[in-house]
Amino acid sequence: MIVDLPDTTTAEVSRALVDVRNEGGAVALGRVLTLIISTTSGTEEEAIQAANDASREHPMRVVAVVRDDPAGAPRLDAQIRVGGDAGASEVIVLRAAGPAGADEEGLVTGLLLPDAPVVAWWPGTDTPSVVAESPLGRIAQRRITDAAAHPDPQETVDRLAETYRPGDTDLAWTRLTLWRAVLAATLDQAPYEPVESVEVSGAVDSASTELLAAWLGLALQVPVSVVLSDRSTGSSGIHGVRMRRASGEIHLERAVPDVATLTQPDQPVHDVSLPRRSLRDCLAEELRRQGPDDLYGDVLTRGLAALDRGPATGAGGA
């Protein structure tokens, strides 16, 4: 069910939500959190769809604040989506034009679920300079950004490190979950030798590459170098990891989509499933955690500073 509310107010939206539940039987009870999506016009549907998909694991209320024509006349248009149009969530889309979009906190305050955590998500390039001090960041327990959406992901990661507050997280970190699992499982096998050095390679526009390198340096307490390649070959994301030990080199390389090759001394070469994670999977993982991600904070504030960031090269791959 979709209910359109043109030229409205947040109070009218709240009343309409009550009417929708009374008339259609949509149940708000059991919602575990409120997810606020802050974005601009034309980019909201992908984020809303990812939230709808994630809501099957985390039933929630989704409030999408869509800023439209900041120079226009003040106006608020709203849309309520429930049932099959909203997955296991209630979706409220607020399209704010002109000065009506300047007070995001005021727009959403009356629509938050009582006694439920608030998560704020900026899926695009309009991330606040200090996320935790932004109007939505101040009312949220968790704050999700995506450095990969920015023109310069590395600069964005550096800024996130400078302004980090407990509760912040970024989807560039969440995309590393499978890489981290494979590398940890590999090192948990004989001969249990210490790693002497690490090299992580990836595309120059991959925020996840440096976060993976920072995590390895922090976890293993060894020198880690980063080799970044331009996009002339079309290869993106993380390319591979080399870990050197006394008995030889461990090499995990993803040369083709979704599959990585694991090479170890005195062992046959293995193909490992290593797909790129979907937006829905990353969002669902972040919504499982309601407290601060202390490891992410350590990687940002301590691990990045210890990296040896080499210059970008012209060759793709690891």
CATH tag for 2-145 (out of 3.30.70, 3.40.50, 3.30.450, 3.30.40): 3.40.50
CB–CB of 169/160 below 8 Å? no
Cβ of 24: how many Cβ atoms within 10 Å?
12
Beta-strand (E) ranges in 32-167? 33-40, 60-68, 75-81, 90-97, 118-121, 142-145
pTM score, two decimals? Answer: 0.91
**CA pair distance 168, 293, nearest whole angstrom:** 8
Spell out the long-range contacts of 261-265 with Cβ–Cβ below 8 A and sequence spacing 24 or more.
Answer: 262/182, 262/186, 264/186
Q: Dig out the tokens for 314 from the structure.
A: 């012209």
Residues 6+ apart with CB under 8 A from 46: 123, 279
Report the alpha-carbon distance of residue 208 to residue 224 in Å, rounded: 15
Tell me, what's the pLDDT at 165?
97
Residue 255 CA to residue 263 CA, distance in Å, equals: 13
* Helix, strand, or coil (residue 302): helix
pLDDT tens, position by position, for the chain (318 residues)? 889 999 999 999 999 988 887 776 555 556 889 999 999 988 899 999 999 999 988 899 999 999 887 777 889 999 999 877 666 678 999 999 888 878 899 999 999 998 899 999 999 998 999 999 999 999 999 999 999 999 999 899 999 999 999 999 999 999 999 999 999 999 998 888 999 999 999 998 899 999 999 999 999 999 999 998 875 555 679 999 999 999 999 999 998 889 999 999 989 999 999 999 999 999 999 999 989 999 999 999 999 988 877 655 443 332
